[in-house]
């Protein structure tokens, strides 16, 4: 079964195509949101989800985001440093 993302869902709604998982009896009876909210942009859906989350989850999410940014920054720094180190060693070997 293909992954249904917000963008895919929006394009299916515009084409009046129902995802395969909606034909499943459990999914047909299970509705988290109204039909109009399915057309809502993904960013608003995420904002609403975060607003409804308990404070514990918000704090945990904050730590996860901060840790993720730190890890990505360290990786980016290593990649940039390696690039310039290789470039400098090539210049020294050529000259």
pLDDT 10s digits, 38-81: 556 788 888 888 888 899 999 999 999 999 999 999 999 999 99
Q: Are residues 41 and 71 in the same domain?
A: no
Identify each DSSP E strand in the chain by its residue range: none
Q: Are residues 43 and 62 in the same domain?
A: no
pLDDT 10s digits, 11-29: 665 665 555 555 555 554 5
Domain range for residue 74? 54-95
Axis crossing angle, helix 42-52 with helix 6-15, rounded to the nearest 10: 130
pTM for the model? 0.48
Give the length of the chain. 95
Q: Are residues 58 and 94 in the same domain?
A: yes
Q: Are residues 66 and 24 in the same domain?
A: no
CA 46 to chain CA mean position, Å: 10
Residue 53 and residue 56: Cα distance in Å, rounded?
Answer: 8
């Amino acid at each position: 079964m293909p992954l249904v993302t917000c963008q895919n869902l929006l394009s299916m709604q515009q084409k009046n195509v129902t995802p395969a998982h909606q034909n499943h009896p459990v999914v047909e009876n299970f509705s988290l949101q109204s039909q109009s909210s399915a057309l809502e942009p993904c960013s608003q859906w995420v904002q609403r989800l975060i607003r409804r989350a308990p404070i514990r989850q918000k704090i945990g999410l904050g730590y996860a985001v901060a840790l993720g940014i730190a890890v990505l920054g360290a990786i980016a720094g290593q990649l940039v440093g390696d690039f310039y180190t290789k470039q400098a060693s090539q210049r020294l070997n050529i000259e």
